[in-house]
Chains A and B, each alone.
Chain A
Amino acid sequence: MLRSRLKAYLPAVVAVATALGLWQLLSASGLVPGYMLPSPAEVLAVFPTDGPLLLEHGLITLQEAALGLAAGVAFGFAVAVLMDAFDALRRAIYPLLVLSQTIPVVAIAPLLVLWLGYDIMPKVVLVALMTFFPVAVGLLQGFQSVDPDEVALLRTMGANRWQVFRYGKIPAALPEFFSGLRIAVTYAMVGAVISEWLGGFGGLGVYMTRVQKAFAFDKMFAVIFLISALSLLLMALVSLIERRAMPYRFPKQSRTDSPEGDRSK
């Protein structure tokens, strides 16, 4: 199983390695000045020296992203439940939600800084604003994707509204929820970094603006690498939780190959 999974990832690994190799060649050829586009090797060389600093700033960014994501998921869940339960509310709120997504993040981030100061608060709020949308939309679609016959069946079993929700709608919404959450975690990292650019005392965004002012291209690329790596890590974490939450979608052994299995009785 592990082997087949490694095999599945092989093309992607080869593609990334090829891209890095070409980049390294490009830098070595001297076509692009080294100070503007450092080679991958030079970027990686930043980590041993600036590692502790990057770790410190990375943890701040991660904390903001995590808090904002938690708030965004909670808010998104509440909005989705309300919109699913009340049809009129869904029709009233949905256009507003879509509208809220047309506002550029970089435009509200400075406002949030002015309103909420340079501490963690504006970052958390911005991340929450960015992440609640994919979660709310995913959940709402998931809730509404429940088979109406399944709802009818639960009702013939005497299920009340809450039980229909718990036994029918929540399980139906889980796949969509996790798709939304995967998008939301990447938004969370980006949102935290953007809001740090616009004012703050720590975090990868702050580190980025500092090294930018020093024209330290290698360090700027190092932060980009780090942000990508952290986002990938968070997405992998979501996939892991997804598998834990829906073991029935990934059964260990299947009996469907042998329909005769239990028919003897």
Chain B
Amino acid sequence: MAQPVDISPRNAVDPAAPALSIRHVSVAFAGRTVLRDVSLELRDGEAAAIVGASGGGKTTLFNVAAGLLRPGAGQVLLGGHDITGHPGSVAYMMQKDLLLPNRRVMDNVALPARLAGVPRAEARSRAAALLPDFGLGDSADLWPSQLSGGMRQRVALARTYLLATLGGGGVALLDEPFSALDALTKAEMHRWYLKVMGRIRLSTLFVTHDIDEALLLSDRVLVLKDGAIAHSEAVNRGGDPKSADFALTESFLAHKRRILDALGS
């Protein structure tokens, strides 16, 4: 069957250089400022979360970062290259899973490679190599309509991962990746996500309105308020860096209090 495929980024990224830089980005729609002078840097392999109220400009920031929206001012750099307004190099998993209903799981995951001109057989073998890590080893030939909500999210995540590593950037934007799931599935997905992120290398910027989720899944939490970054909270997990028990510790609550203060004030 499919041979093992190297799923690490193709081009080595300088660990000192940020994987993704957003520099002084401002966006206004019809005179209303949505983002004002937002700057942030995502380090290689880092997981950063953005929290904020709905309508606070999170999705706009992602559209800029993905190159779908050209900002009124500012720049987006991926591995030092200016990609402002150019989609196709930063992977973006939107709130909806947006699986193509007419492609089986394997072909949905292989889609970014196919679009980049990789021959079908090779694209499929790359996708096949990913599926076991994403818990989809037995599901390659299923249609999206045959999947549960959690499985659909994992297919979307696998596809996002394939895209992120395809060009060598290794950067993924995840917009509320687990918000559509019920509470139990969500908790299960969190555990699975931490496990898989320990195995693969991906720099992620993800948006959530759930502060617990942000603290649980990321190294740094940024508070976006009124279109600007109001606070940056480096998460200190103590002992086991990816332990779910972290949610029960004092330091978790201290982090959460500071973030709530930043959101409220």
Contact = CB atoms under 8 A, between A and B. Distances in A.
A159 B115 contact: yes
A178 to B, nearest CB: 13
A254 B89 contact: no
Contact of A156 (B92, B188, B192): B92
Nearest to B146: A255
Interface residues of A, number: 31
Given A255-B142, A256-B146, A156 B101 contact: no
Nearest to A153: B98
A91 interface: no
A56 interface: no
Contacts of A253: 146
Majority secondary structure of chain A interface residues (helix, strand, loop or mixed): helix
Contacts of A259: 148-151, 185
A167 B143 CA distance: 15
Contacts of B143: 247-248, 251
Chain A CB within 10 Å — which of B103, B115, B149 has the most? B115
A220 B108 CA distance: 55
B94 A149 contact: yes
A157 B139 contact: no
B145 A256 contact: yes
A259 B154 CA distance: 13
B222 to A, nearest CB: 21
Contacts of A262: 135-139, 151
A167 B147 contact: no
Interface in B183-197: 185, 188, 192
Contacts of A247: 143
Nearest to A170: B102
B100 interface: yes
Interface in B108-127: 111-112, 115-116
Interface in A206-265: 246-249, 251, 253-256, 259, 261-265
A150 B94 CA distance: 9
A255 B115 contact: no
A163 interface: yes
Interface in B179-219: 185, 188, 192
A248 B107 CA distance: 13
A147 B188 CA distance: 29
Contacts of A48: none
Nearest to A261: B148
B88 interface: yes
Contacts of B185: 259
A184 to B, nearest CB: 22
Given A153-B94, A259-B149, A158 B111 contact: no
A78 B102 CA distance: 23
Interface in A87-140: none
Given A256-B145, A259-B150, A262-B151, A154 B136 contact: no
Contact of B90 (A147, A156, A246, A249): A156
Contact of B98 (A149, A158, A171): A149
Interface in B142-174: 142-151, 163
Interface string B65-96: 01110000000000000000001111110101
Chain B CB within 10 Å — which of A157, A251, A261, A263 has the most? A157
A158 B136 contact: no
Contacts of B91: 156
Interface in A138-192: 147, 149-150, 152-159, 163, 167-168, 171, 174
B63 to A, nearest CB: 8
- 4 closest residue pairs by CB, A with B: A158-B88, A259-B148, A265-B135, A248-B143
Interface of A: 147, 149-150, 152-159, 163, 167-168, 171, 174, 246-249, 251, 253-256, 259, 261-265
11 contacts: A156-B67, A156-B68, A171-B100, A171-B102, A248-B102, A248-B143, A256-B145, A259-B151, A261-B151, A262-B151, A265-B192
